[in-house]
Structure formats: C-alpha cells, structure tokens
Amino acid sequence: MDFKQAAKLGSYLAKDYAENLFRLLMNYHDISASEAASRLNMHIKTVQDSLEGMTELGIISKKEVIEKKRPYNRYTLVKDKISLNIDLNDLLTDDDTENDQDKRIREKQNSGVRFTTSRDGQQISSVSIWLGDGRDRKERKINFSNAQGKFMFHLPFPTANYKSIGEIMKQSDIDSEHHSEINDIVDEMIKLNVIEESKY
C-alpha cells in the first residue's frame, strides 16, 4: 500500500461512524448504501462515498443488481482484517544517482528572496520568498537544517560559475548521509526560483 492509499484508508477509518459501518459489513452478506444509511441514521451520499472509496482500495467488493428495472450496488466485505503497511523508503529522495550529484546549480539572478545568515555567519538559517502579486503577495519562510544551511551558504552567486551538488557538498564539508535532504531542498529551491540549474 502506498502512502496515498494509506492516507485515504486512514481518513475512512477515522470517521466516527466507521466502526458501526464495518459492523454492518461484517454481519450482512451484502448491503446497499441505502440500507446501511438507514441503519446508521445517516445521509445515503456519505455512506455511499465511504463504501465506494473502500471498494477502490479492495476492502469491499460491489455487485450491481436490478430491482424493478432500477440498478443499484450491493457491497460485500472481502477482508476481515485490515493492516496499514507503508514502505516509507518510497518517500526517500533518490540521492544515489550520479545525475543528482552532478546537477550543476547556482543562485538565480534577481530572485528577489532574502537570505538570513546564522549568528556565527557560517551558514544560511532561512530564506524568505514572496509569492503572488500585489495585495495577494505573501511571504513564505523556509528554515534550513544545519546541513542545508551550510550548503546554501556555499551556493554560487548568480554571476558565478555553476557548481555541481557534489562539489558544493564537499566545499561545505557535508557528509554523504545528508544527500537526500540536500537534494530535497535543491529541488524545492528550483521550484521556487531561488536556484537555477545549468541546462548544459
């Protein structure tokens, strides 16, 4: 189960009516959304959305039946045990490829951001970015970890030559165990137009 599926399942399990809905599913061979809604004294659309969502997750199966020429679905529980098993390694930034470490970057010119230097003057503690236009303009502040702060401190200026992520990490004396968090912040800074990547 991936993180999105787990989050979706978690949202259904967190509903205050979830236990009673599962109780019905456990005790009925099959049940319609209207039958379940009437038993739970709930709006049919709310119950149907939950049943359909759990059908998509493979916890429930549905079968269309026709009664008085009007089709509707009946739902059957197909699992009597539910477990959340999420591999968090899937969320890890891919930091083992040469392409990531060879990515050549520098600060983007006229980015309009404000860097805040730490008290010791040896790293960047945060960056403030303004998003939007006019009265809708809002400030977003991003705080850096120690490794990220040292990396950003040694980021080449807009007029300087590009350097690879690996070179900047070496210059900043950052251990390889911090590759993933460095790659994460670089990707985010590129999205926010703070950093630019060489196209050559």
Q: What is the pLDDT of residue 97?
A: 46
Sequence-ordered list of residues with C-beta below 8 angstroms from that of 76, at least 6 positions apart, any chain: 25, 29, 30, 60, 61, 62, 63
What's the full length of the chain, in residues? 200
Question: 3-77: what fold?
Answer: Arc Repressor Mutant, subunit A (1.10.10)
Q: How confident is the model at residue 182 (pLDDT cuts 50, 70, 90)?
A: very high
Split at pLDDT 50, 70, 90, the class of 133 is: confident
Residue 11 has pLDDT above 70, yes or no: yes
- Judge whether 67 and 44 are in contact, CB under 8 Å: no
Q: What is the tens place of the pLDDT at every residue in 27-72?
A: 999 999 999 999 999 999 999 999 999 999 999 999 999 877 789 9
Q: CATH 1.10.10.10 region(s) of the chain?
A: 3-77
